[in-house]
Amino acid sequence: MSGGALYQESLRTLRRLALPEASERDVLAALEAAQPGPLALFYEAGAEAGLPRDALLARGAGLFLSFSAGNLADDLIDGECTYHDPPIRVGPCVQFILQNLAFATLCGARARVPGPVLEDAVRTLAMAAGPQALEVRASTWTAPLFRQVAEGIAGQQWAAYLRVLWAGTVLEPRAAAAGRALGVAAHVAEDIRTRDVRFTSMPQADRDVVVDWARAATQALRQQDLRCLDAALRRIEPMLPEGES
């Protein structure tokens, strides 16, 4: 229900644009492809921080729009954008709409995100996208390369998300550390679950290093002692069994 509230808010935000029918349909397809994604966690983390509901809905929807833009970019890179036809022509247009709509939503009065916080978070998201260039060019994977990519496209990304979500709350000082640990742990767990080539192609010794790194991140998350992060851990930790990688 909580994640559903943010998704419905994202749809309302889209429909207020009054885009041409074809454009709205294309954007909706990208939103559907990205959910549920982080919706439940966005809501739970905002609620635990004590955000007023109106600000929580606006911040959560804005962040989900940004996440959806990134998800679409990733699908285009990986050749997995099956929801746009043709992807190479429709996808970039949709990504441009989503990214600008996300920014407009997070800048809005309802979101109540201080300007300097938003500036810093958006810059962090730009930096987070940088290691994607290393990923698309990688012919072999090692633990150092895996960590460099994961720290950017997952760790920094989640640090930025929580910085925006927790801005002005008692949890704001924890955003960077909690976000980086969450991004790293979730990224490694998902690569193991899906048997992504980034992980499976590495030598066993490198995989062990990466799994140990992810386990350390889960311990850092547990030390935060937050209900929203504990809920995420319950999904992540079963994918990181002790003694296996």
SS (H, E, C) 95-164: HHHHHHHHHHHHHCCCCCCCHHHHHHHHHHHHHHHCCHHHHHHCCCCCHHHHHHHHHHHHHHHHHHHHHH
Query: At which of 64, 90, 112 does a domain end?
Result: 112
Distance CA 193, CA 189 (A): 6
Same domain, 123 and 226: yes
User: How many structural domains is the chain composed of?
Assistant: 2
Same domain, 36 and 148: no
Same domain, 44 and 125: no
Range of the domain at 81: 1-112
Same domain, 173 and 227: yes
- Which pLDDT score, from 0 to 100, does residue 245 have? 41
Same domain, 118 and 81: no
Same domain, 92 and 118: no
- CA dihedral 238→242→244→245, nearest 10 degrees, is 70
DSSP secondary-structure letter at 79? T
Same domain, 108 and 133: no
- Which pLDDT score, from 0 to 100, does residue 244 have? 45
Largest CA distance in the chain: 54
- Which pLDDT score, from 0 to 100, does residue 243 have? 55
- Which pLDDT score, from 0 to 100, does residue 2 have? 84
- Which pLDDT score, from 0 to 100, does residue 241 have? 67
Per-residue pLDDT of the chain (245 residues; tens, 9 = 90+): 589 999 999 999 999 999 999 999 999 999 999 999 999 999 999 999 999 999 999 999 999 999 999 999 999 998 999 999 999 999 999 999 999 999 999 999 999 999 999 999 999 999 999 999 999 999 999 999 999 999 999 999 999 999 999 999 999 999 999 999 999 999 999 999 999 999 999 999 999 999 999 999 999 999 999 999 998 999 999 998 675 44
Same domain, 23 and 50: yes
Same domain, 127 and 137: yes
Same domain, 138 and 43: no
Same domain, 150 and 99: no
Query: At which of 68, 91, 112 does a domain end?
Result: 112
Query: At which of 112, 136, 168 does a domain end?
Result: 112
Cα–Cα distances (Å) from 245 to 179, 212, 213, 240, in that order, read 23, 9, 11, 7
Same domain, 35 and 93: yes
